[in-house]
Amino acid sequence: MVLKGRSLPRGSSRKSSSSTLIFSIMIICSFFVLILLALGILSVPSSSGDSPKAHDLSTIGHRTIPSDRRSESKDARADQWVEVISWEPRAVIYHNFLSQDECEYLINMAKPHMEKSTVVDSDTGKSKDSRVRTSSGTFLARGRDKTIRAIEKRIADFTFLPVDHGEGLQVLHYEVGQRYEPHFDYFQDEFNTQNGGQRMATVLMYLSDVEEGGETVFPSAKGNISAVPWWNELSDCGKEGLSVKPKMGDALLFWSMKPDASLDPSSLHGGCPVIKGNKWSSTKWIRVNDYNA
């Protein structure tokens, strides 16, 4: 007796073998994608809701290096890293931007020439004596020697703004009780913008540590200012805004202009009174155009 099996039509057997093939290819592909995801070679795009909010200052990654481990030698710069501290105003800290030797060099060059600091009179555009700024300071001409040229080149690399847009370095000294009340670095007069245009950005370099006080404070910064990791170390003045504690060699870059070239009022900033110790700093103001120094 011959058993008769039901034979499938030819077309349907070809169809089932091609769907098996497609199914197998899909399984193999999914397997590869899973391996690539596991190895981190592929990643799943995350929605913007997962990324830190621009004004969430608690997301600042903070790391400190004990002062005795800062660098092997005074002329070498210790570990460098950049920390975004605010989006409004746009501000970042470049840690260990200067070596200890460079800080001491700037202080020693400036020391014999320190004079009481002045401010710009918005009506006349001229410098005037003022109680809002009680530090002393002096300017070191742009490109005046090898060390200063190296620092100015580093500033240009850091900011992407040419050396020729920079004013000379200003070195400032604050003793106990001395401060600089909150102000804008951009000009509100016609006179001072004739050479080089508006001030676009500022690089503030700390040439010394300060035992207490002396923070650079941004009272109009947007964000949860008390979330910064260094909040408990700040003076009362420092707690009036987003603050940066001076640390020898660090540089603070902030922008007085927004990306659309309008002036940024959130860049209002000041130097808090020094409570203990001394504060030495150096400021580089950078213009929109070439500045004839």
Interface residues with ligand AKG (CB under 6 A) are 172, 180, 185, 204, 216, 269, 271, 281, 283
**Closer Cβ to ligand AKG, 99 or 216, answer by number:** 216
Closest separation in Å from C-beta 271 to ligand AKG:
3
**Closer Cβ to ligand AKG, 138 or 216, answer by number:** 216
**Closer Cβ to ligand AKG, 71 or 240, answer by number:** 240
Identify the residue whose tokens are 């002393």.
136
**Closer Cβ to ligand AKG, 71 or 230, answer by number:** 230
Q: Which residues contact 124 (CB under 8 A, 6 or more apart)?
A: 189, 191
**Closer Cβ to ligand AKG, 241 or 271, answer by number:** 271
Q: d(Cα 206, Cα 276) in Å, to the nearest integer?
A: 16
Q: d(Cα 229, Cα 232) in Å, to the nearest integer?
A: 8
Closest separation in Å from C-beta 215 to ligand AKG:
7
**Closer Cβ to ligand AKG, 99 or 202, answer by number:** 202
Helix pair 100-110, 146-159: axis angle to 10 deg: 120
Closest separation in Å from C-beta 179 to ligand AKG:
8
Q: How far is CA 31 from the centre of its chain?
A: 43
Residues 134, 175: contact at Cβ < 8 Å?
A: no
Closest separation in Å from C-beta 106 to ligand AKG:
14
Identify the residue whose tokens are 């070239």.
261
**Closer Cβ to ligand AKG, 71 or 219, answer by number:** 219
Closest separation in Å from C-beta 170 to ligand AKG:
7
Q: Which residues contact 151 (CB under 8 A, 6 or more apart)?
A: 98, 102, 106, 169, 205
Q: d(Cα 161, Cα 155) in Å, to the nearest integer?
A: 8
H-run or E-run covering 287 = strand 279-287
Q: d(Cα 210, Cα 176) in Å, to the nearest integer?
A: 10
CB-closest chain residue to ligand AKG: 271
Three-state SS for 189-251 is: CCHHHCCCCCEEEEEEEECCCCCEECCEEECCCCCCHHHCCCHHHCCCCHHHCEEECCCCCCE
**Closer Cβ to ligand AKG, 70 or 284, answer by number:** 284
Closest separation in Å from C-beta 30 to ligand AKG:
57
Closest separation in Å from C-beta 43 to ligand AKG:
40
Closest separation in Å from C-beta 87 to ligand AKG:
20
For residue 118, how many C-alpha atoms fall within 13 Å in the half-sphere facing its CB?
11
